[in-house]
Structure 1
Amino acid sequence: MSTLQMIEAAAERLKGHVRETPLLSSPFIDELAGRRVLVKPECLQHTGSFKVRGAWSAISALGEAERESGVIAYSSGNHAQGVAYAAAQHGISSVIIMPSDAPQLKINNTRALGGEVVLYDRANESREEIGEALAAERGLTLIRPYDEPQVIAGQGTTGLEIARQATALGVTQADVLVCCGGGGLTSGIALALEGHAPGLRPRPCEPEGFDDVKRSLATGHIQTNKATSGNLCDAILTPQPGDLTFPILNRLCGPGLSVTEEEALRAMALAFLRLKIVLEPGGAVSLAAALYRGTEIEGDSVIVVASGGNADPEVFGKALEFLT
């Protein structure tokens, strides 16, 4: 189980290896949202998303023998790139299992970062089964994308930064909107905020039709998605919240928020126009929630974690069409 102490220890191991991303703002976005919006652009992180935090935390915590044997991970793209990058920086090998319909940019980047990519059919095959079989066959250490204590701890370092930065800006009460798939980032941030900024309340954000976390929080029990593909927000399409992450989410998070695919694309366009950053659809749902679900958000300020920016050019072009 991840703890605040694990997050703080991970932050020490991550020093000098990950970027401390700022809190950005724009008066134009504030006007549209009807409140102050502070955006944490994890799209500026190494490999283009927050995932490198958890990957570095997990790999840096391994023993020497485990590192020498190499690591394996499964991911639609951002965790894949994070693990491939962190493994290469530690001088070890990595095998990454990716869905064959993942954005080509993410597949190419993962290979370029040194990962051995194994593709699978996410509609008919289980990445968990493939990963566990390959791990056993090759003696690799499995780094799960969210249900892994050290991964959660690494993602939680985002929350330590938010607590410090928000305090410096005089924001002590606000909803913190987080793009949410399996819940690793959201649960890590929740633990960090509980310890360092209890007035900041995490809120998971998801695409409509894939809002398993929102429904799980509403019922108090883990709910599943009927489908795990068919939405541009591929980075955060998971079957259900994690067994480790959900108890944290259930204890510490406010109600979930969900947005449409079009709203995510519109948020991408506004982030580019007003903040000069590139977001992918799954990394933009939190900003979309701030812009289009304002009546469901409390307070004069809201903090948005823009979790990733690995958008295929074609998808980014679709987003920019909303500026014309």
Structure 2
Amino acid sequence: MSTPTDLATIIGFGLSRLRIQNRHHDFEHLCRDLARARIASNILPATGPVAGSGDQGRDFETFHTYLANTLTSTSTFIGRAASNTITFACTVQQNGLLAKISADVKAICSQGTPVQRIYFFCTEPLRTSDRHNAQDWTSREYGIALEVLDGPAISELLSEHDVFWIAKTHLHLPAELTPPSLTSRPASAPTRKASIQRADHEMAKAIDLLASRTTRPISEFNPLDFRAAFASDLRALLRLSGSPELSLIAAKVECQESQLIDYMSGNHLPSQKRTREMVRAMAEFCRERGIDLPDSQFEEQFWARKLRVARKSGMQKTVKHKALKIAAPKRNAKR
């Protein structure tokens, strides 16, 4: 069985062959599948000649969805759907990557729908300093964020169990290389301290995400915002569990479906007992459907801590401080 490092090396070699074999379209399809799995699900492919102006420098981009404000936000689609317009560009070009990035950014920003973020995928490695220079230039010139995923980064992402199928499909790798799932790997039980730290970090990320969708500073976030963050994490777990119908969860938990709707929408916080029951019910759905998720996703101390943070203002101060640290690099990039 290949180690993660070995597998990433194999995938990296497969990516490098795409340029030699003139398979830009295969790389574009690979990146689109990876983006749907890891970045946003509401993605449209571009139409028009790749080398011409038909795709406006955009190999694929997100489309707007109004479903995020409805009950169906508990679905797999909304769980990953981007609220802002994101555009993606891909290249198998080996040399002159900085020039290619700047050209694509200029093409994307000078025509078509305004965007808030650009993801640039390339098969070749890009130095960290070059990536930062490109990000600073994009932020300074166009006021938008740029993310660059080079060959080594893509290789590491594709070596994970749940997305390896993308590498297998587009790089024609043998199924025998499929890495084991996280749940099949022996792991020691997390300590209480580790569970608390992880829960606080996840809540901080949820608060940072909420802040990015509003004009309010994180320092002004209140208990209602933390209730919304907890509900967002519950919806994310439901999505990871295969998005079972809420009526099925309600049957396992032995409560009214309307109560689950309140919990998932952030109208009310569940009790600790009810939270434990919901998390266990979603873990059962994972097992029944053969979905591989790490046990840490369902760890009771982890969810108990999240619930306590959502309830107690003193703990919320600590999490807001963590969220500010997460947001700091983004603020600096915009300066």
Q: Same fold (TM over 0.5)?
A: no
TM-score by length of 2: 0.26
* Pair member with larger Rg: 2
TM-score by length of 1: 0.27
Where is the helix percentage greater, Structure 1 or Structure 2? 2
Where is the strand percentage greater, Structure 1 or Structure 2? 1
